[in-house]
Amino acid sequence: MRLVSYVFNEEVGAGLQSESLEYIFPLAPLGYADTLSFLYAGEDAWAEAAEAASAADLDSDQVIRTDEADLLAPIAMPGKFICIGLNYRDHAIESNMQLPKTPVVFTKFSNCITGDNTTVVIPSMTTQLDYEAELAIVIGREGKNIPAEDWADYVFGYTIVNDLSARDIQLATSQWSLGKSFDGFGPMGPAIVSKDDIPDPHVLGIKLSIDGEVLQDSNTDQLVFKAPDLIAYLSSIMTLEPGDIISTGTPAGVGLGRKPQRWIQPGETMVVEIEGIGTLTNNTVAE
């Protein structure tokens, strides 16, 4: 199942995208105005929607052609946008930092979220804009103090995040969030792929390129704290709710760790690819 948000005929909707990626089955006729309400509806509702989508007549107005719609970030206003730092072994090594013994947690604010094929404005106050390809977990069920062995019961699926970071702002203090929360600094999408289509999120290829040059090329098997660890730890502190995003960290190859350092420039195109999910593409322009 591929859950998407889209604009069609100037109306925003939520839908299930076909495996071929050619069609979107709108969820509004089933009573779901957006992806968040669909996630809150629970597993029985998800199964019913998937069955209805598979039975839809592709030659009718039951579906929308994807090429006639614009995909948005799959969740525009999550209750929580949680990020994990230094969570890839290869990234910690390039950063000359020891592997953390406890997850390094910070947040991004929802104003930073943007979708696939949008243009990111590079703020004039930064000269050190960096990229971070990340696999994000999307919570599908409310939970507190979740046992690590039950982690998958609380997950709806996975999406792609590019955790854009103004390093000169981020590293000016010990608190990272401001440097990562400029408008547009959280590209996300193009879809949320349900957990049944990604049975193991810890064996996925993850790659980022800029203008065709591959700068990050790794695998989620490099994660220090995997999904069970993160969900158990975070839920011991806060209640996790449907639609919450947990962006699991980035692998080696970020601009900060390169010699010489490599910053995103206006006019460049970033493409993040994660196996089983797809690609997230964003252009850049100067403010």
**Domains in the chain, ordered, with CATH?**
2-72 (no CATH), 81-286 (3.90.850.10)
Query: Would you call 244 helix, strand, or coil by DSSP?
Result: coil
**Dihedral of CA 59/63/66/68: which sign?**
positive
pLDDT in tens, the chain (287 residues): 999 999 999 999 999 999 999 999 999 999 999 999 999 999 999 999 999 999 998 888 899 999 999 999 999 999 999 999 999 998 888 877 788 999 999 999 999 999 999 999 999 999 999 999 999 999 999 999 999 999 999 999 999 999 999 999 999 998 999 999 999 999 999 999 999 999 999 999 999 999 999 999 999 999 999 999 999 999 999 999 999 999 999 999 999 999 999 999 999 999 999 999 999 999 999 99
First to last CA, the chain: 37
Residue type, 249: G
Go through 2-22 and write b for each residue having 16 or more CB atoms within 10 A of its CB, e for each that does not: bbbbbebeeeebbbbbbeeee
Query: What is the C-alpha separation between 11 and 13, in angstroms, rounded?
Result: 6
Helix (H, G, I), strand (E, B) or coil at 89: helix
Q: What is the pTM of this model?
A: 0.97
